């Protein structure tokens, strides 16, 4: 009985230097795993279940997280440069200070995610759901937010210079102090 209890707690307290499944970790169940500072560069985590996992300061550069479940995951200061996160579930994820330069987040669900101070320069967020997301002082310069839904998001002091916001939904969004120099804001749905 005690051994079973310890095996239940193992994912919460183990910090693997490298996952046993690497580089092919597609569809692996990694719920609640402690992957702080893990080097997961170029790892295939397609449809992996990482709900509630701690990926604080993890290196996920070029990782394939397409359709992965990262709901409520801790990705604080994680490096997701050029990672593929298309259709990933990032609802309620902590992405504060994360590096997502040139990441592919097309169709990703980021509702309620905290992206405060995140670096999303050049990222693809076409059709992404960012309802109620916090993007305070986030760098989104040259990002593509075409058809993205940012309903009730907090974009105060965000950098959207040269970003593409075509057909984006910005209704009831907090926009104080944003930088929009050179941004494509054609057909944006604004608040009244």
pLDDT tens digits for range 73-120 = 999 999 999 999 999 999 999 999 999 999 999 999 999 999 999 999
Average predicted confidence (pLDDT) for the chain: 92
Above 70 in pLDDT, residue 13?
no
pTM above 0.75, yes or no: yes
Q: What is the mean pLDDT of residues 162-186?
A: 97
| Cα–Cα distance for residue pair 12/148, rounded to 1 Å | 34
**Range name among 19-28, 62-71, 86-95 with the lowest pLDDT average:** 19-28
Expressed as residue numbers, the domain containing 177 is 25-192
Above 70 in pLDDT, residue 18?
no
CATH assignment at residue 137 = 2.160.20.80
Q: Is residue 126 part of a domain?
A: yes
pLDDT at 19: 78
Above 60 in pLDDT, residue 4?
no
Q: Is residue 134 part of a domain?
A: yes
Q: Is residue 2 part of a domain?
A: no
| Cα–Cα distance for residue pair 104/152, rounded to 1 Å | 23
Q: Is residue 5 part of a domain?
A: no
Q: Is residue 7 part of a domain?
A: no
Q: Is residue 99 part of a domain?
A: yes
pLDDT at 191: 72
Domain count, the chain: 1
Report the candidate in 70, 103, 71, 109 with the shortest Cα–Cα distance to residue 87: 109
Q: What percent of the chain has pLDDT over 90?
A: 86
Distance in angstroms between the alpha carbons of the first and the last residue of the chain: 61
């Amino acid at each position: 009985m005690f051994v079973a209890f310890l095996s239940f707690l193992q994912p919460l307290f183990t910090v693997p230097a490298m996952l046993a499944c690497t580089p092919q970790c597609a569809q692996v169940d990694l719920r609640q795993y402690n992957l702080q500072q893990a080097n997961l560069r170029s790892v295939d985590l397609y449809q992996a279940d990482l709900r509630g996992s701690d990926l604080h300061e993890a290196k996920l550069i070029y990782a394939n997280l397409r359709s992965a479940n990262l709901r409520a995951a801790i990705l604080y200061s994680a490096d997701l440069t050029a990672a593929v996160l298309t259709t990933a579930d990032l609802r309620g994820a902590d992405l504060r200070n994360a590096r997502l330069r040139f990441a592919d987040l097309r169709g990703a669900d980021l509702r309620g995610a905290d992206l405060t101070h995140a670096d999303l320069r050049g990222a693809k967020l076409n059709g992404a759901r960012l309802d109620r997301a916090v993007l305070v002082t986030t760098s989104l310069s040259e990002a593509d937010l075409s058809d993205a839904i940012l309903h009730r998001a907090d974009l105060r002091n965000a950098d959207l210079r040269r970003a593409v916001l075509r057909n984006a939904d910005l209704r009831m969004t907090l926009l104080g102090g944003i930088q929009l120099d050179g941004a494509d804001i054609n057909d944006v749905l604004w608040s009244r």
